[in-house]
Amino acid sequence: MLMRHIISTLLSCLAVMSCTDLSLMRTPETERDLGIAAFAPCYSICTERTPGNIWNLTFTFGEGSASRDVTIKATKPAGSSFTVDLESAGDEFVAGYSEKTGTDYELLPSSFYRFSGGNYIDVASGSQESGPNTLTVYARNLLGNVLEPGRYLLPIVASSLTEELADTTLIVDITVREKWSDPDGYELYTGDDMFTVFYVNTTQFDPRLANDMILYDYLEWEDKSSFKGLGNIVNLRTASIEYDEATSKVSVKPTVDLRYVLEHCTECVLPVQESGRKVCICIEGGGKGIGFCNFSDAQIAEFTNSVKRLVDTYGLDGINLWDRNTGYDKAAENGLPEMNTTSYPKLIKALKEALGDGKLLTLTDYEEPTEYFHDVEAMGGIEPGQYLDYAWSGYCNGNEPVQIVDPWHQGEPNVSALHPRKPIAGLDASKYGCVHATWYPGSASVDVTNVNAITGWINSGFNPNGISVYYDIRSIIQDNFESGSWNPAYILSRWLGNNRLSIETSRLTNKPGFPGYNNTGYNKWVKYW
């Protein structure tokens, strides 16, 4: 009877829940039903890092397991020892939950989860929290059985014969997805002669746009080997520096659109990673005068911890630092320190040590924040290049032809005189991208291709790595559709010595059933949220 009462109470709560906020709500009626009194301990089932006691899990078909500690917590020490039983609320709850949330769930079979300490938790007299009982959920269980793709629900209900609980349920919401595979079988190109880096503006596009950037030889298009997937690194824009004026604390803050993408990483990010591309977050300044070049040591530690949490939470492959739009000219009037030459190098060192060798740390070399990166003495003895996986030029002005920013060959013919740079201390030239192109409109009034300069630079042997960078890749909705200079083929044809290269535009048109589909077919991967 107690179990049926609890299920009924929980489903009643669901009736007043919104589909976007799935935390259980208490009402005066439910509190009276549960016998909660201000003078008595209030017991609740709790899990680590699980807001609202809803644990969202994503598995790829046939892969993985996940674990969380489950405890019973009280507002006051327990008056006596007691036991809390843990069991599935069953099909009745799942049916009600499905109806209220508009999602068709199946009850997770019992063979795909287990509690390490049995289906109960003991609470000792005088304690305010029980010891942990670890719940493990499997996509492939110990017998080798696998969950089919779909949505599953595991509603765990806590009950006791001697004590009443306020929060009685833990909901595990499980998605099992198919692993992404390229529909045409075009693999990401990983040859030594070409390494491409993309930026994706999430205010406009879904990151999956990167998977459809395919380079091909249009005279040999029937040969699958002539198709090459582009975008070895995909940087999602934008996150910025959040500054709390009251506490002086700093943290990383994604834009609303980037946060949506991250919170829907199973849909928007994982397919890009499963294609072999590395997905990173581009972090810029926040416009308040506080930035990478004037952090205190305490702020460096705070920001590093914030970045690591973001990367770990969403399974990102790393970060890209681009110190622009910081507003250092506002620092003094806002009571903030002036720029210095030690803060940024110390931040880079701290970030790499925190993220580890398994994550990428890249730098966009741009204007005053990095112009002294050759001067080790000014940077307090730190060589930032030792902690960077890659760096590249940040000069991609749509009002200029493509610039070759080559710090190792400054003054040589074809190397940009508009944007002179010096080598970053500790960074090998093979890790620096000298060409950064933006997407020019078809009506551009400048010679955007700069073909002779690019060809001359390559023929001089100054391109040691094939790295080229493309700012804010696009679908074919902009720039008068296909007529614009909107794709990287005009640069990569110089890289590979093949003037027959183009982007496979058929991958950038819509198909019926695609989110935001319309009959023009020209808005694939345009932001749909």
Residue range 428-468, pLDDT digits in tens: 999 999 999 987 766 555 555 577 788 899 999 998 899 99
Interstrand relation of 390-393 and 360-365 (parallel, antiparallel or unpaired): parallel
117-146 per-position pLDDT tens digit: 999 999 999 999 999 999 999 999 989 999
Query: Once rounded to an integer, what is the mean pLDDT over residues 227-237?
Result: 96
Contact indicator for 171, 180 with CB cutoff of 8 Å: no
Say what the pLDDT of residue 522 is. Answer: 67
Residue 410 has pLDDT above 70, yes or no: yes
List pLDDT tens digits, range 86-128.
999 999 999 999 999 999 999 999 999 999 999 999 999 999 9
CA distance 83 to 274: 45
In the chain, what percentage of residues exceed pLDDT 90?
68
| Residues 7/89, Cβ–Cβ less than 8 Å | yes
CB-based contacts of 113: which residues, under 8 Å, 6+ apart? 135, 136, 137, 138, 154, 172
Residues 247 and 168 in one domain: no
Report the pLDDT value the prediction gives residue 30, as an integer from 0 to 100.
Answer: 41
Instruction: Give the separation between CA 71 and CA 260, rounded to whole angstroms.
Output: 31
Read off the CATH number of the domain in which 372 is found: 3.20.20.80
Q: Which residue has the higher pLDDT, 517 or 277?
A: 277
Q: Is residue 153 part of a domain?
A: yes
> Considering the domain boundaries, does residue 517 fall inside one?
no
Helix residue spans in 318-442 (DSSP H): 343-355
Same domain, yes or no, for 247 and 131? no
- Whether the per-residue pLDDT at 519 is higher than 90: the answer is no
Least confident window among 150-164, 229-243, 470-484: 470-484
pLDDT tier at 34, thresholds 50, 70, 90:
very low
Q: Please say whether the beta carbons of 215 and 230 come within 8 A.
A: yes
Residue with tokens 């059933």: 513
Q: Do residues 257 and 142 share a domain?
A: no
* pLDDT for res 17: 38
| pLDDT score for 49 | 74
Residue type, 495: W
Specify the pLDDT at position 475.
Answer: 81
Per-residue confidence (pLDDT) for residue 348, from 0 to 100: 98
Q: In terms of pLDDT, which residue wins out, 477 or 268?
A: 268
What pLDDT is recorded for position 31? 42
Cis peptide before 238 (omega within 30 of 0): yes
pLDDT at 440: 72
Are 150 and 199 found together in one domain?
Answer: no
Residue 513 lies in a domain: no
Q: Is there a domain that residue 231 lies in?
A: yes
Instruction: Report d(CA 351, CA 386) in Å as an integer.
Output: 12
Q: Which two tokens stand for residue 299?
A: 């702020």
184 part of a folded domain:
no
Q: Measuring CA to CA, how many Å separate 328 from each of 350, 369, 370?
A: 22, 10, 14
* Distances, alpha carbon 57 to alpha carbons 52, 151, 485, 528, in Å: 14, 10, 42, 23
Classify residue 528: in a domain, yes or no.
no
pLDDT band at 7 (very low <50, low <70, confident <90, very high): low
Do 171 and 204 lie in one domain? The reply is no
- Asked which of 151, 177, 203 is the last residue of a domain, the reply is 177
Distance CA 107, CA 89 (A): 9
Label residue 218 left, alpha or beta by phi (over 0 means left) and psi (-120 to 50 means alpha): alpha
pLDDT over 50 at 22, yes or no = no
Asked, for residue 25, whether it belongs to a domain, the answer is: yes
- Give every CB contact of residue 363 below 8 A, 6+ residues apart in sequence: 320, 321, 322, 348, 370, 384, 388, 390, 391, 392, 424
4 pLDDT band, cuts 50/70/90, is low
Q: Can you spell out the DSSP letters for 252-297?
A: EEE-HHHHHHHHTHHHHTHHHHHTTPEEEEEE---SSS--TTS--H
* 91 lies in the same domain as 43: yes
Contact assessment for residue 214 and residue 489, using Cβ atoms and an 8 Å cutoff: no
Rounded Cα distance between 380 and 377, Å, is: 5
Which tokens in the block code for residue 125? 């007299």
Q: Which two tokens stand for residue 318?
A: 């790393």
Has residue 20 got a pLDDT over 80? no
pLDDT at position 526: 87
Per-residue pLDDT at 80:
94
Q: Percent of the chain having pLDDT more than 70?
A: 87
Whether 295 and 404 share a structural domain: yes
Q: Are residues 332 and 452 in the same domain?
A: yes
Query: If you average pLDDT over residues 163-173, what whole number do you get?
Result: 92
Total tally of structural domains belonging to the chain: 2
Q: Which class for 275: exposed (0-12), middle (13-18), buried (19 or more C-beta within 10 A)?
A: buried
pLDDT band for 506, please (50, 70, 90 cuts).
Answer: confident
Residue 207 and residue 159 in one domain: no
Question: Which one has a higher pLDDT value, 103 or 483?
Answer: 103
Question: CA 232, CA 272: separation in Å to the nearest integer?
Answer: 10
Instruction: Determine which of 8-12, 81-85, 296-300, 352-356 has the lowest per-residue pLDDT on average.
Output: 8-12
Over the chain, what is the mean pLDDT?
A: 88
Q: In whole angstroms, give the CA distance from residue 220 to residue 515.
A: 32
Q: Directed axis angle between helix 2-14 and helix 90-101, to 10°?
A: 10
Give the CATH number for residue 171.
2.60.40.1510
Do 252 and 365 fall within a single domain? yes
Q: What is the pLDDT of residue 434?
A: 97
Boundary (domain end) residue, out of 177, 211, 244 = 177
In a domain, 515, yes or no: no
- Residue type, position 296, single letter: S
Q: Which residues are CB-neighbours of 90 under 8 A, at least 6 positions away?
A: 7, 107, 155
Tokens of 209: 């746009």
- Across the range 386-402, mean pLDDT stands at 93
Residue 493: pLDDT band (50, 70, 90) is confident
**Residue 88 · residue 157 · CB < 8 Å:** yes
Asked whether residue 36 carries a pLDDT value surpassing 70, the answer given is no
Q: How far, in Å, are 125, 131, 155 from residue 121 at the CA level? A: 13, 8, 16
- Name the least confident of 41-55, 290-304, 475-489: 475-489
Assess whether 363 and 428 both reside in one domain.
Answer: yes
Query: Do 382 and 491 reside in the same domain of the chain?
Result: yes
Q: Which amino acid is at 27?
A: T
Range of the domain at 327: 195-508
Residue 502 has what pLDDT? 87
Asked if pLDDT for residue 24 goes beyond 60, the answer is no
What's the confidence (pLDDT) of residue 275? 96
